[in-house]
Homo-oligomer: A and B are copies of this chain.
């Protein structure tokens, strides 16, 4: 097997040992003689998987015993765009959103179906190349929603406001990648398919006492309280995706937890951004102070180099480097599981391009 240096924005790289363990479980789960794909979600072995995944998520975030519950749901972040107003927006209420990218805007669109939704700051006019910082969260909003990392534009919130109202955050593309005071948030959600697992499962971490305030009649499948009461088994969960997420969380825990990941991610980002800034052929597209540690976006200053560069990185075994059509150029996604050696391969290609043209 000729493994690639996978810079894909998501679904994206996971630890190699997680792939091996997941493949083994597809053939025989826990020595049961059954595939993980054919075991009942009510079986003792899988209930233990779900409970460990829920507990380990809270533990890694330092939220154990703080009144939070972790859930593994289906539908991706896009489903949470709907669940959040259902669970947090009052019948006559309003919501405050920070508009920092394509996914933030998609969350806003769905909130508007429900009620009054204010965009309190936006960087849309400059193609989302920075994070707005000068805004006030209305004290009469039911909640404030932000997006911690903007995969497409390569920007990341470096700090979070002290919100006067419940704070909800989409952390799909940087969860478990850096130390944050997670207790500032009433709800955190993340599609697994970047730092945590395969596509098909979403982690939701919610403060229990923030629920039940809206007066809305909530359909069961959208009701966080129902999912909490049923211990994340309201209906059949995405068994394999939950199991593979647990394997990734265990890997993360055994490799030093979020603190160690942050150090690795800082080193990788520094290596790449230093080259982007040093190399006269390239320019970064995001405001320097808001640069994402997860997704570095950059362009060639002279598009005449495109053919050569594309040929060179592909020959070096790199995949998934093409930028999103909203920005163009290149995007190097460097999630937790990416080794610094892969980033070095990319940097070496950039240096060679400078010499050979």
Contacts and interface: CB of A to CB of B under 8 A. Distances in A.
Interface of A: 1-4, 6, 8-14, 19-20, 22-24, 26-28, 32-35, 37-41, 74-79, 81-82, 106, 109-110, 113, 191, 193, 197-201, 217, 219-222, 234-241, 244, 317, 319-320
A235 B238 CA distance: 16
Contacts of A241: 200, 238, 240-241
A24 B40 CA distance: 23
A244 B37 CA distance: 9
Contacts of A74: 74-76, 79, 200, 238
Choose among A2, A27, A28, A217 the residue with the greatest number of B CB atoms under 10 Å from its CB. A27
B113 A217 contact: yes
Choose among A8, A23, A82, A234 the residue with the greatest number of B CB atoms under 10 Å from its CB. A23
Total identical chains: 2
A4 B301 CA distance: 61
Nearest to A78: B235
B82 A222 contact: yes
A3 B199 contact: no
A268 B182 CA distance: 54
B34 A4 contact: yes
Contacts of A41: 11, 199
Contact of A198 (B106, B197, B239): B239
A34 B236 contact: no
A197 to B, nearest CB: 8
B200 A76 contact: no
